Each structure stands twice: as C-alpha cells, then as structure tokens.
Structure 1
Amino acid sequence: MSRLVILGSANADHVMSFEYLPAPGQTLMSKDYRLEHGGKGANQAVACARLRQPGNRVDFICHLGADGIAEQMSQSWCDDGIHPEGITKVDGQSTGTAMIFVGADGENSIGVSLGANASLTTEALAQHQMLLVDADWLLVQLETPTTTVAQALKSAKKHGANTLLNPAPATVLGTEIYKWVDIITPNETEAETITGIEVTDEKTAKLAAQMLHQLGPDTVIITLGSRGAYLSCQEFEGIVAGVDVKPVDTVAAGDTFNGALMVALSENLPMRDAVEFANHAAAIAVTRRGAQRSIPYRREL
C-alpha cells in the first residue's frame, strides 16, 4: 500500500462561460453560471483518489472555512475515498474562492481569493506532522503559503517520501525550496517565471529543464497543453506526446495531470509511462466542463 499526501488549496469555483474571454475593460454577458468544487490542491487530491488502485491511501491537508460549501466539499472528497484527518475547518474564515471565465475554445482566466487557505501556516501544519512522516509521496502547489509548502517538502523528504512540486500559480521562489523537490512539473508560463526562458518549442523546453535541474529536482516535466509534456530525467529526455481531443474546458487539466502522475509513479511505472498515463487522464478532463467533476475515474482510462 502506498500513502499519497497532497497539501494545498481548496476553493469554491464560480464559473462563467463566454464565447470568448473578455479583454481588459470589456463587459460581456455570460452564457451560463455554475458553482464548482475546485482549488489546485483539492483537484489534485480528487484526481489521486479517483485514479488510485484499491488499497492505496490518499490524504489531503487543507484549510476550509466554517461555512456550508466547506461541508459539501469535504463530504464529496470523503465519498471519493480521501481520508478526512488532514481536512480542517477554521472558525472565522471563509472557504477560498475562485472566479473563472471560460471561453468557447476551452481556454480560461482565473482569479483567486485565498480565504482559509492563507491560514494553513507552518504552525497549523505541525498538527499534521504524522501524515508527512508516514507519506510515501507528497504533492504540493503554491496556492497556500510558500513557507508551509517548503516546510512540508522538507519534512516529508527527511522521512523518506518522494516529493513533487507543481509550481502553480507562477511565483518567484527562493532557491532553498528546490533542494527538497524530486520532481517539478511547471507549465510553459511557470517554467519561464522560474528560469527566465520562454518555452516555445522542444529546444527551449530543454534549456529550461536544464536550469531547473540545476536548482535541485532530478526529474523535470514541463507540461505543454495539447502537445503533451517535455520530460527530462535519467531515463528519457524529450516530448511525451499528448492525446488529440477537442477541449471543452481546461480548468482542471494540469491538476488532473499532476494527480495522475503521482498515482502512476506510486505504482512503480517507469517515468515515461507515468507521463503518458497522466496525459491520458488530463485529456479526458478537458473534454468535460467543470473542475473536480471533470476528473476521470481509473476505469475510464
């Protein structure tokens, strides 16, 4: 049995759909509105829970507000098999909120209010130390305080876990955090933020990957949307092709990829095979609307 731990954000996603994304200063009437369960951490935890083999355990360390949407979200995660020990509801706080605009071509723009996510401090993390000690794999992102993310990576790594950092949203970090990271999974924008190299093709992806290796991670995976992902590790270097589908909504594509990647690696798949598995999971997700409700189950792959 593998123990998979995800630390990160949970948001209530307010989603509006448009023919095209509004330009600065432009007001458009949306075609529809819906309230979704989202947040990068929660999306990745749901992907892990739905794609794992029976017997593997998924824990999600997060902070929710003391409100009705928090009850709905936490119950839905438990229904998917996520253990509740890491889920904390914080009095006096509201659950994190995201405003998401989705265009007809599936592209999106997102704004986030952290809410209770911001209260997931290093002091709060200490209450979940045993989840990190017992973890075989840890997956983190950057929608919670970066000091907490760094502490979680350091603690899990010291106790023998394999660590994955999805550096999203794009943020400039100090170099110290990367030495606790085994696998880093930026998209093109995030890779450019960290390295200063604009990733436009395989050549520039390779340059960015080389710089990321120098920071610490042994494995670099730069996700390239519909083109797949650029993988740089000891066994393989190059593009692992994506799956040709017609996208409807790309909101949870990257999160599905990351959750699926950790599941595949926890089952000892070779790195290239794990990236292919993650590409397939993300491809299914983009053919559906919504964040967590778009994430596939293992049987669908």
Structure 2
Amino acid sequence: MSIVVFGSINMDLTAYVPKLPQPGETLQGSSYITVPGGKGNNQAVAACRLGAPTKFVGRVGTDGFGEEVLKIVGEQKVDLSQVMKDPEHGTGIAVICVDKNAENTIIIISGANFALDDSDVARASKVMTDAKVLMLQLEVPLDACLKAAKAAKEKGVQVVWDPAPAVPLPDEAFKLMDFITPNETETEILVGFKPENAEDASRAAKLFLAKGVGTAIIKLGARGVYYENEKESGFVPPYKVTPIDTVAAGDAFNAGLAVAISEGKPLAEAVHWGAAAGAIATTRKGALPAMPHRDELMQLMKEQA
C-alpha cells in the first residue's frame, strides 16, 4: 500500500555557524550546503527510502531551483507525477542556520507552496485510491490540507498530520487526524503549555484526544516520545546517537511512523520506527541527505532494542 504526501518542497540553503545569531549580529560561518528540503518533500523522500511506494503532491516554480529540486528528488524514486510547475510563483526556499550544538533557526519563503488549492487536492484525491496513509504538514495552505484530509477520510486513508510550523487550528482539523505528531513547541502553541516530560505529554495528549484526534504522539526531542489513544499509551526513550544537525529530524520521525502504519505494525512499534528514523536524521547534515534508509533503521533498532 502506498503513501501520499501532500505538502511543501523547497530548496534549502543551510549555513553552519558557531552559535545562532542575535539581532544585528554578523557571524563567520564554517560552511554551507544547498539541498532540497521542505517538510512534505523530506517526508516523501524518507518514506520512499524506508520502503513505501510514495507519491508526492505539491508545486514548484518554473525557475532553476524548481528544476534542480525535481531532478534530485526524482533520483530518490519518489513519484513526482503530481507535482505541478507553477508559472506564477517561485520555488519555495528555506534559509537555515545550524549551530555547534546542532540547534537551528529556519526562515521559510513559501513561494509556490502557498499556492496549493482545490486543483492540488483533486490530484491528491486521485492518487489516494490505493493509499494507506496521507501525510500532511502546515507549510502549505491550511484550507488545502483540510480538504485533502477530508478526501482521505472518505477513502478510508489514515491521516498522519505533522502540525508544523504550528498555528492555531480549527476544531474540524483535529477531528480529521488519525495521528497528530507535534514537538514541544508545537504542542505549546496548540494546547497552551510546553511539555517537559512524559507526564506533561500525557496531559497534552488527553487534550488532543478530547478534540477528536485518534492518536496523539508528542515528540520531546532528546527526552523521547510519548504516545496515547483511547486504548493504549506509552513512552519511547530516545535512541542513543551523536547529533550534528537536527534539521528535518521531525520529518524523518513522521516518515518512519507512517511507513510502519502503512505496513500494519502495532502503534508502539510504529512509534519506535519514528524515533529511530528521527535519531538517524540528526547524525547527518542537511534535510534530504539526512533522511534514513530502511536497512540502517532496522540496524539501529536491533542494536538498541
């Protein structure tokens, strides 16, 4: 069964700096890389690398960045037949700073990503026929995401929604989510407090469930992952790796989770897949290059079982 990803595709310019800059400060960086990114794209590439046939629905501009992104992502065997070349909007870009502690700041210029509309939803709906999971984020218009989620529900496709970058969401959005996967910051924006531990995460999860979410999965970064639904709950401790760049780790998590779900794995195992995928992503620079492959995910989970 395939995975459909409805979302953003960017060109990322990532600068590596000794510390994150303050307002008005000029820093001497050590290096930079230019690679494809965007939450939707990252999740699609990761899902494909982890073994799921993956179809991506989105937009790029008709500029050089768009051509380059499609060439590189196409080499990852993601199905790009539903990516539209938008003549009126440029390809989205992200300007990223990563410090020596692997923390980051990101500026996004959405471009064609924020032009997604009903025509894109229609393309997504068309390719959901044999899909098991629809993956959503919030780097494209919320209205388009809501309509894509409704189409998924009508077709019996499970919705894995990464509410990032977080914005207040209407009540109807939560009712469309089979899985919500916020990190600490996104959880704070959505429920009003920042979870610092599993107990806090459980309190947040219950608020999501009360809003109609099927399963709430709270990502606590280096502190692990908490999950809960009406039938079960649990905590997955972090996998032990040496992080150098946390960019797109959340995207890798969502892909690991979605692939496991698409294969019918139990929830606890699916969360382990997500946690392992996210951990692997922190050990490499950049967004797309950091996305994990299935063999290394299996190896990490075996080593740290």
**TM tier, smaller:** over 0.9
| Matching of residues 28-67 of structure 1 within 5 Å | 28-52=27-51, 56-67=52-63
95-104 vs 224-233, which moves further: 224-233
- The answer to whether the Cα contact below 8 Å between 1:132 and 1:152 also exists between their aligned partners in 2 is no
| Matching of residues 1-301 of structure 1 within 5 Å | 2-52=1-51, 56-301=52-297
Cα distance in 2 for partners of 1:75, 1:68 equals: 11
| Structure 1 position 59, deviation (Å) | 0.4
Which 4+ stretches in 1 moved above 4 angstroms? Answer: none
User: Percent sequence identity over matched residues?
Assistant: 39
- 1:143 aligned counterpart, secondary structure: coil
Q: Which amino acid aligns with 1:160?
A: G
- The answer to whether the Cα contact below 8 Å between 2:253 and 2:278 also exists between their aligned partners in 1 is yes
Q: Which amino acid aligns with 2:237?
A: A
- The answer to whether the Cα contact below 8 Å between 1:45 and 1:82 also exists between their aligned partners in 2 is yes
Cα distance in 2 for partners of 1:198, 1:281 equals: 24
- 1:85 aligned counterpart, secondary structure: strand
- 2:127 aligned counterpart, secondary structure: helix
- The answer to whether the Cα contact below 8 Å between 2:234 and 2:268 also exists between their aligned partners in 1 is no
Note the alpha carbon deviations across 1:149-180, whole angstroms, 9 max, x for none. 00000111111101111000011111111111
| Structure 1 position 103, deviation (Å) | 0.3
Note the alpha carbon deviations across 1:98-155, whole angstroms, 9 max, x for none. 0100000100000100001011112432244311344221010000000000000011
254-263 vs 16-25, which moves further: 16-25
- The answer to whether the Cα contact below 8 Å between 1:94 and 1:116 also exists between their aligned partners in 2 is yes
Contiguous gaps of at least 5 residues in structure 1: none
Cα distance in 2 for partners of 1:128, 1:219 equals: 23
Q: Which amino acid aligns with 1:12?
A: M
- The alpha-carbon distance between structure 1 residues 238 and 136, as it changes in their structure 2 partners (threshold 3 A), is closer
- 2:90 aligned counterpart, secondary structure: coil
Q: Which amino acid aligns with 1:45?
A: A
Note the alpha carbon deviations across 1:18-73, whole angstroms, 9 max, x for none. 11111222221211122111000000000100001xxx421000100101222222
| Count of paired positions | 297
- 1:136 aligned counterpart, secondary structure: strand
Q: Which amino acid aligns with 1:250?
A: T
170-179 vs 255-264, which moves further: 170-179
- The alpha-carbon distance between structure 1 residues 234 and 284, as it changes in their structure 2 partners (threshold 3 A), is same
- The answer to whether the Cα contact below 8 Å between 1:185 and 1:221 also exists between their aligned partners in 2 is yes
